[in-house]
Amino acid sequence: MHSARYDYGQNGKHERINFLSNNEKVPPKQKKGIVVGVIVALLVLAAVAGVLIWLFVFKANSGTTLSSRRSPRTIVFSGHMKLADVPFDQKLEDISSKEFTDLASNLEDVIGECIKKDSFLAKYYNTSVVTAFSHGVIGFYWSKFDVPGSDLEMVPEFSEERMLDALETAVQGSRSIMSPRSLKISEVTAALTDPRMARNPRSVECFYVLEAEEGKIKTFASPGYPTGYTSKSRCQWQIRASEKNSILVDFPIFYIEDYCPDDFVYIYDSLSSDEYQAITQKCGQRPPSNPLAVASSGNFMLINFIIDSDVQRPGFEAQYTAIPLSNVTTCGGILMETEGVFTSPLYPRFYPPAVDCKWTIKVAPGSKVRVKFTMFRMKEPRVDIHVCHKDYVEVMGTKYCGEMTSLALTSNNNVLEVNFHSDKSYTDKGFSAEYSAYDPADPCPGKFACASGICIAKERKCDGWNDCGDMSDEIKCKCDKEQFPCDNGLCKPRMWVCDHVNDCGDGSDEKRCSCEENEWRCGNGVCLPQDVVCDNKQDCIDGSDEASCKSSPGICSEFSFICNNNECVNKVNAECDRVNDCSDNSDEAGCDCGTRPYKLNRIVGGQNAELGEWPWQVSLHFMTNGHVCGASIISDKWLLSASHCFVTNDPANHVASNWQTYSGMQAQYKQDGVQHRAVKTIISHPNYDHMTFDYDIALLELSDPLQFTNTIQPICLPSASHVFPAGTSCWVTGWGAQREGGQVSMMLQKASVKIINDTVCDMVTEGQVTSRMLCSGFLAGGVDACQGDSGGPLVCFEESGKWFQVGIVSWGEGCARRNKPGVYTRITKLRDWVQKETGI
């Protein structure tokens, strides 16, 4: 990051940067054309003067001027300076002491005098406030400038360089400053800061000084917590600890508005709001599974709480304590076991700023080292992840930063060095890594060795999923019976063939999908001779060969699509198939649904969903519990979910205001592109039975409509007559547990499941299914929805090019057990109820 600082101290901690002097900035003059230039300039000046006179003299009298319509701006610089000959006195840490007040006002005068020497800054200067002193002696300050609306074009002139130039007069000691006590200043920093964070500790409103102590955990909370904060809140906490300590702050509960420019918490590794020493800025709600927890690199920390929106949220609750600084900065070492785990300092808490660690992994000669990062998050604003010029992990000459889902590396010999670097500003969760020694001749005993060096279970080779992360487990496969051999040598589950997703990567699984010309394609994809159609015998399992025989209006059956004008269309799945079947075209109305704008390729495999892959998926958060249920978008104002998420023993579950909805979400901890809406009403089906889970359906009305985007789209609801034949491959998605008894997932998960025949479903569930339910999954087990997926959608892709929601995740015996498929609410049976309640 660009850093503008002067450093006159001896510790060499700050970079010294030379700025261009004014002379250097002027380009060499050219004599040619000077005369012409002068004349042109005079003419331009005259014209400008004319316009200005008109604007200010005539226009001013006749009403509003341009300038009076522009609102004034406040500019604030924050930073610190080192006071070379002031001895440190403990009383300086107490803002109510006379020592503090005297030195602060002395330093404020010095700063003011310096600023006044720059005629530009002097013109707009308002005030300077010294907010704290710490060992060193370091004084923390901010200076404020007011720019009237008429001078807004001057705002870019307020540069950090200019401010530092002004303060340099104090540093150079050429003091003509008549201050009561002379101060020798040796280091200065200045950073442009959000004026909302400039607080005067001497005006007591929402300003706190806290003392962190070793072995003691103390707490503080945002104002109004947990009922809710008020708009225009401005609070600041200065936390201090004794020397040679680091401060740890955890936020077990963190729930503020989503829109960061208005509402945020900004934490600094300093006692001034200096961007160059920011630890992090956060807004939104954090699930308990991913709490915010930070650490300082020294014995102080500053926390700002800024609220501007009118939306009321609970706020935060924080715990703080101190630990010896050596616990924070001593990291790295020599690792000589055959396997082990190492992490960034303080993991899973944010690592502290300004630390360097080096791990040397040394295994037996002849062996090699493999390192797999199970978590890697070192993201900073304005950092190019190809360069990693700020915080990074360096292995074998390559720097890694940003966020990585799979990073595995192997050494060239028996020693591997891993370096970790964090600079002075912005920190993140860091990393956790597993290392192990391996024999290059047999790198994965009993397992399969990926090209990247990691080992995976043998069964995972050639199973159609990219388990290695580099596809090396999916090439050169001999496909078994259950698998489809792609033209490029990959094997994919047969059920992925002709599902409109290019699973092979070369399109070969989607190539030969339609039936021959003289054949009829049943709803489940089976091709039969054309003459089975309308022979008064059901040949296709789904009866599709007979369903379209009498398309004359008036003849209605259970399988007919009923048009708005009550005509019947006897054709399988007539709605939204891009063919006008009803004379009033109502079968093609309301078909703006079930499409995903993002182009996706499932070839990368794994089970994490890609961004925008399931744009109708919604995460429902309950009070401060984080994600608890799923839902789907059926219109900009309505979501579909499961009744059992809301009708429980706890009446709080049925209170709309206890729920928050997040649309467009992929990772639970990411806010980008996510639209957050409150719930206005919850309508659960009146016949919902909590014993049998019958009628497990609910509608949520949103407080404000959603804006559809690439990652936020409604799903199509099937009409009551829509058929989803047994055997169809559909998809279930959610943040539910990845195994029975597990915790909810951070990343949205997807699983391909098959619609199971009703007779089989009835058998395996021992008669527990009603006609409002359907089974989907695999009788062999292994793939299923699980706890936390409830309320989420089961969707199928239709030939017509649209996705339809067939079911709502409802229940199951355990998860992914053999002969225990997932049970879903059957939407076709409840379609009319949805229509009645919402008009959709």
Residues in the interface with ligand ARG (CB under 6 A) total 13
3-state secondary structure of 763: helix
In angstroms, rounded to a whole number, what is the distance separating the alpha carbons of residues 306 and 363?
51
Q: How far is the CB of 834 from ligand ARG (least distance, A)?
A: 20
Comparing CB distances to ligand ARG, the nearer of 352 and 788 is 788
CA distances from 673 to 290, 378, 708, 830 (A): 19, 21, 11, 32
Task: Decide if residue 774 touches ligand ARG (CB under 6 A).
Answer: no
Distant-in-sequence, close-in-space partners of 371: CB < 8 Å, separation ≥ 6: 361, 395, 408, 409, 410, 416, 418, 433, 434, 435
Least distance between ligand ARG and beta carbon 809 (Å)? 5
Q: Applying CB under 6 A, does 736 fall inside the site for ligand ARG?
A: yes
Structure tokens at 779: 């009788």
Strands 355-362 and 333-335: what pairing?
Answer: parallel
Q: Which CB atom, from 146 or from 813, has the smaller least distance to ligand ARG?
A: 813
Choose between 666 and 787: whose C-beta lies nearer to ligand ARG: 787
Closest to ligand ARG by CB, 719 vs 790, is 790
Q: How far apart are CA 506 and CA 492, in angstroms?
A: 12
Q: What is the dihedral of CA 562, 567, 569, 574, to 10 degrees?
A: -50
Which DSSP category does 526 fall into?
A: -
Shortest distance (Å) from residue 618 CB to ligand ARG: 14
Between 129 and 773, name the residue whose CB sits nearer to ligand ARG. 773
Shortest CB 771 distance to ligand ARG, Å: 19
Judged by beta carbon, residue 393 or residue 815, the one nearer ligand ARG is 815
CB of 437 to ligand ARG, least distance (A): 40
Please say which residue, 143 or 684, places its beta carbon nearer to ligand ARG. 684
Q: Minimum CB separation from ligand ARG for residue 819, in Å?
A: 12
Vertex 118: Cα angle to 112 and 120 (nearest 5): 110
- In sequence order, the 6+-apart residues with CB closer than 8 A to the CB of 349 are 248, 250, 293, 294, 295, 429
**C-alpha to C-alpha distance for 294 and 147, rounded to whole angstroms:** 36
Q: What is the separation of C-alpha 220 from the centre of its chain, rounded to a whole number of angstroms?
A: 26
> Which SS3 state, helix, strand or coil, does residue 789 take?
coil
* Residues between 634 and 653 with contacts to ligand ARG, criterion CB under 6 A: none
Structure token digits, residue 663: 């649309």
Kindly state the DSSP code that residue 56 receives in the 8-state scheme. Answer: I
What are the DSSP E strand ranges found in 158-215? 185-189, 191-193, 207-211
Residues 6+ apart with CB under 8 A from 647: 653, 654, 684, 688, 690, 698
Of 776-835, binders to ligand ARG (CB under 6 A) are 784-790, 809, 811-812, 815, 822
**How near is the Cβ of 679 to ligand ARG at its closest, in Å?**
18
Environment class of 193 (CB within 10 Å of its CB; exposed 0-12, middle 13-18, buried 19+): buried
Q: Is the peptide bond before 137 cis (omega within 30 degrees of 0)?
A: yes
What tokens does 548 get?
């379209």
Which residue's CB is nearer to ligand ARG, number 79 or number 822? 822
Nearest to ligand ARG by Cβ — which residue?
812
C-alpha 797/C-alpha 791 separation (Å) is: 19
| 504-523 positions binding ligand ARG, by CB under 6 A | none
For 630, phi then psi, to 5°, come to: -105, 175
Q: What is the amino acid identity at position 416? A: L
Return the number of the residue (108 or 784) whose C-beta is nearest ligand ARG. Answer: 784
Nearer to ligand ARG, 235 or 764 (CB): 764
Give catalytic residue positions: 644, 696, 790
Least distance between ligand ARG and beta carbon 642 (Å)? 7
Between β-strands 264-268 and 292-295, what pairing exists: parallel, antiparallel or unpaired? unpaired
Shortest distance in whole angstroms from residue 770 CB to ligand ARG: 16
Q: Does 574 bind ligand ARG (CB under 6 A)?
A: no
Residues that bind ligand ARG (CB under 6 A): 736, 784-790, 809, 811-812, 815, 822
